[in-house]
Amino acid sequence: MRAADVRLQKSTLFALYAILELARDPERQLSTADIADTYGISAHHLAKVMRQLVRLGMIRSVRGAGGGYRIDVPANRTTLWDVIERFEPFDAEDGFDGEGQNLSTPLAAALESVRLEIDDLTRATLQSISLKSLIRYAPDDAMDSSDAAPKARGGRTRRSHQSA
């Protein structure tokens, strides 16, 4: 399994969609339905995530006609890690999960060392990408997403999924 195959929980991904969408224009307010429709996700599940983001102080609820949500953190100082760490159960000290594993063998220790290095690199990368910097890579609605997507290592183009 490649490191890129690691998956985030649905709630983490929904939180990232929501906060990034709200960060695109901090003065705009969006409803849960607006965000859910944009990303083709469950509005019911997203509503739970939105309540959690409000409790965390990352977004705020705006009541009344045309109400919805607004971002409540600075997009230029809030990183992807700031969102992810609140939704993912990370504990680098635990090492491998399971019972009866002997991590004192040389190969197990070497593998654990590599795993910890990958965790550190992943965390450092996510801590270095602010919401605002990621938004700059997203194509405008009028642009074709394949034209503006950033290049991945190795020269491949990452295609972003965007609803019309």
Tell me what the mean pLDDT of segment 19-34 comes to.
95
Helix (H, G, I), strand (E, B) or coil at 112: helix
Instruction: Kindly report, residue by residue over 120-146, the tens digit of the pLDDT.
Output: 999 999 999 999 999 998 877 644 444
Does residue 155 surpass a pLDDT of 60? Answer: no
In a domain, 97, yes or no: no
Distance CA 43, CA 47 (A): 6
| Cα–Cα dist 40/32, whole Å | 12
Domain-embedded: residue 61? yes
Put simply, whether the predicted model's pTM sits higher than 0.85 gets the answer no
**Tokens 């609605």, located at residue:** 141
Q: Choose between 104 and 13: higher pLDDT.
A: 13
Reply yes or no on whether the pLDDT at 23 is more than 60. Answer: yes
Residue 83 in domain:
yes
Domain region containing 127? 8-91+103-149
Report the pLDDT value the prediction gives residue 69, as an integer from 0 to 100: 97
Distance separating alpha carbons of residues 84 and 53, to the nearest angstrom: 11
54 domain-assigned: yes
Asked if residue 14 has pLDDT above 70, the reply is yes
Residue 60: what pLDDT? 97
Please tell me the total count of domains within the chain.
1
In this predicted structure, the answer to whether residue 34 has a pLDDT above a threshold of 50 is yes
Comparing 103 with 97, which gets the higher pLDDT?
103
What letter does residue 30 receive in the DSSP assignment? B
Percent of all residues in the chain with a pLDDT value above 90, rounded to a whole number: 59
Provide the CATH number for the domain around residue 129.
Answer: 1.10.10.10
The continuous run of DSSP H or E covering 119 comes out as: helix 106-127
- Whether 41 is in a domain gets the answer yes
Q: Ramachandran region of residue 17, left (φ > 0), alpha (ψ -120 to 50) or beta?
A: alpha
Q: Among 21-30, 104-113, 124-133, 147-156, which is the least confidently predicted range?
A: 147-156
Distance CA 99, CA 17 (A): 36
> What pLDDT was estimated at residue 93?
52
Question: At 63, phi and psi to the nearest 5?
Answer: -90, 165
Tens-place pLDDT, residues 36-50: 999 999 999 999 999
- pLDDT the model gives residue 154: 39
Is residue 157 situated within a structural domain?
Answer: no
